[in-house]
Chain A
Amino acid sequence: MAGPAAFLIGMFVILPFVFAIVLSFTNQRLISPNPTEFTGLANYRQLLGMATLTLDPVKDDAGAIKMAADGTPEYPSIRSFTRGNADYANLSGMREWFSFGWGESRTYVLARDVVFMKALVNTFIFVLVVAPVQGALALGLALLINQKIRGINVFRTIYFMPVVVSIVVVSLLWRFIYDGNSGLLNNLISAVSFGAIPRVDWLGNPNTALGSVIAMSIWQAVGFHMVIWLSGLQTISPTLYEAGEIEGASKWQSFRYITWPGLKNTAVLVLIVITMQAFAVFAQIDVMTNGGPLDSTQTIVFQAIERGYGKQDISGGSTISVILFVIVLSISLLQRWITRERA
């Protein structure tokens, strides 16, 4: 009786998963006149290739540092190293990702695929902000909703509402809220500040775009994790709180010594689920920003889809998927190890 189910899982989860790994070592495209070739680690090298290059400022014949028009020292051009320079063959085809000054000289970090590097960093920022903030806010809401006062169910129902709405719909609504001209957020801010704070194009500004997507994502999903915390809270026996009250425990003490220890398993679960969901961020980006402005909201999955589907580069998209899976797996193992039961 388990046959059909096992077959379907094998066909549509395990087989594609194995395919992802195999395809990542080839040059497979969705439709191609040429036969597929095995290319070894070429896809991984192309995506993850990085190098540093430390350069001294350009000096004139007298040994003085040449200054560029803006008054900063002038450095040799990166292109002279990455384009057809036989002495630096390993840098061929790379582009500048970022650079930092180091005394007089300057170190350039070069990457073979700068956009993917930005996507990696953005995704990590996204996860590192969303996981703790959403987890903590959800716990706060769960504690708030766990009190016994009249009408509390109405509030619980409302806080959970965004969870049942599609992330696509939510993203569109928030595009309206974040709009640079008639957006609700700008109108609210200028009403509260009597026009003192200038309008911001939240999704059009590289400094605010990722933060705006993060805030909306938390708003949408926090109710989900509130409910999971809530079910954890309800497993804690009320007699423990009664005992604490008799002993004269303060509110903080009863949270610290009764509630929190009782929620440990829930905490691990919430953290792992949020992390997995956050690493897979896609729809928000696709609907709200398309990865822009200036690649400030590129993410791993967005890149995987853009290449694997948009550019029909199945092997490139598969390679990104495998990298994502390795990251997700290592982080959930790490989280389990950190939160393991200490004997």
Chain B
Amino acid sequence: MAISADNHGLRLIVRYAVLILIAVIFIFPLVFMVMSSLKPDQQLLADTASLRAFLPVGDISLDNYWAAFKRAPVALFVMNSVIVTGVTVALSLFLCSTAAFSFVFINWKGRDVILSIILATLIVPFETIAIPLLLISSKLPWIGLDGLTFGWLNSYRVQIIPFIVDGLTIFLFVQFFKDLPSELIEAARVEGASWFQIYRRIVMPLSGPVLATAAILKFLVMYNQYLWPLMVVQEEGYRPVMVGLQYFFQLNRAWGEIMAYLSLITVPVLAFYLYLQKAFIASIASTGVKG
């Protein structure tokens, strides 16, 4: 009896040891990033030779952060990212959910064809349309404060509008709406409710989970955008955080400042993730329940 209990305990220890070892592999670069952001360059480099690299020891301060703010318009980059991400997520939730609503609940001619074309775009990687999209964006018209202008480069709209609607988000909403009880909608129709009222009063209040999923996925894509803004935004005024990194690789490379900037743009997302980790993981998992 005692032997088997020991055996059980030992196996449990081995299990936890494996789990912890793997956890270390996944977390050490992030710990290194945050700790290094607090150290002066010389100490940062010297510390990489030992475990001190992962500890807040020695000459700890927030100096790197102040220096990073001095070197680049960090607040501007963060604001740009927040605007682009926030507006895209909001518009995406509205337009994709209304579209999915009409695909699922309303009978109209050609809806199946259009839905299958939209879903077929899922196999087109963004990278394969980036170059022609660059050409198109450089010529599109826009009516703004200065009247009619051509060319969308260097603006918020070029970072927002092409990404509002995508096949995956529509797919998620369509899947979710299909599982809603259709009697609810039929009953409301009988009582004379308009489609928009049904969308607002009945469907949206039930759609919390899918709204969270779609918002999280869009948020991750938009906040982490790199290739597209790299191509279409040359002016500082519209640069998002990932492209703003370039400021830290000119002339003298200050690793402490780089780590401070990386921490600054990453830690809030990680905190948000830790706070909502169940929803984050559920959102990724729900992309997997197809076919």
Contacts and interface: CB of A to CB of B under 8 A. Distances in A.
A218 to B, nearest CB: 11
A142 to B, nearest CB: 11
A164 B272 CA distance: 10
A314 B124 contact: no
Interface string A5-40: 110110111111101100100001010000000000
B285 to A, nearest CB: 4
A168 to B, nearest CB: 5
Contacts of A276: 123, 125
B245 interface: yes
Nearest to A154: B23
A224 to B, nearest CB: 6
B90 interface: no
Given A166-B266, A168-B242, A182-B49, A160 B281 contact: yes
Nearest to B136: A16
A12 to B, nearest CB: 4
Contact of A269 (B27, B98, B284, B288): B288
Contact of B29 (A177, A279, A280, A324): A177
Interface in A162-178: 162-170, 172-174, 176-177
Contacts of B57: none
Contacts of B33: 169, 173
A177 to B, nearest CB: 6
B69 interface: no
Interface residues of A, number: 83
B118 A6 contact: yes
A156 B288 CA distance: 17
A5 B107 CA distance: 17
Interface string B250-287: 00000100100010011001100110010011001111
B23 A280 contact: no
User: Size band of the B side of the interface?
Assistant: 35 or more
A305 B126 CA distance: 12
Contacts of B230: 286, 309
Contacts, number: 244
B55 interface: no
B143 to A, nearest CB: 16
B288 to A, nearest CB: 4
B238 interface: no
Contact of A20 (B50, B132, B285): B132
B207 interface: no
A161 B26 CA distance: 7
Contacts of A170: 29
A5 B95 contact: yes
B29 A173 contact: yes
Nearest to B129: A16
B121 A14 contact: yes
A159 B165 contact: no
A37 B87 CA distance: 39
Contact of A15 (B29, B32, B131, B136): B136
B262 to A, nearest CB: 5
A187 B266 contact: no
B48 A227 contact: no
Interface string B109-144: 001001001100101111111111111101000000
A114 to B, nearest CB: 22
Interface string A272-305: 0000100110110010000000000000010011
A155 interface: yes
A1 B99 contact: yes
**Interface majority SS on A: helix, strand, loop or mixed?**
helix
Contact of B26 (A12, A158, A286): A158
A36 to B, nearest CB: 11
B282 to A, nearest CB: 9
Interface string B152-187: 000000000111111100100000000000000000
Contact of A304 (B123, B127, B220): B127
Given A5-B98, A13-B124, A174-B29, A141 B265 contact: no
A147 interface: yes
A105 interface: no
B291 interface: yes
B3 interface: no
A317 B131 contact: yes
B27 A161 contact: yes
Contacts of B226: 166-168, 283, 286
A280 B26 CA distance: 23
A20 B289 CA distance: 32
B291 A17 contact: no
26 contacts: A4-B165, A5-B96, A5-B118, A8-B164, A9-B166, A11-B162, A16-B136, A19-B136, A23-B132, A23-B135, A144-B19, A155-B23, A159-B22, A160-B281, A166-B242, A166-B266, A184-B28, A184-B53, A219-B26, A228-B284, A230-B285, A231-B286, A231-B289, A309-B134, A322-B128, A325-B125
Q: Which 6 A-B pairs have the closest CB atoms?
A: A5-B99, A308-B131, A19-B132, A228-B288, A231-B285, A1-B102
Given A4-B95, A231-B288, 6 more contacts: A1-B106, A9-B165, A158-B27, A159-B26, A304-B130, A325-B125
Interface of B: 12, 15-16, 18-19, 22-23, 25-30, 32-33, 45, 48-50, 53, 95-96, 98-99, 101-103, 106, 111, 114, 117-118, 121, 123-136, 138, 161-167, 170, 195, 199, 220, 223-224, 226-227, 230-231, 242, 245, 255, 258, 262, 265-266, 269-270, 273-274, 277, 280-281, 284-291
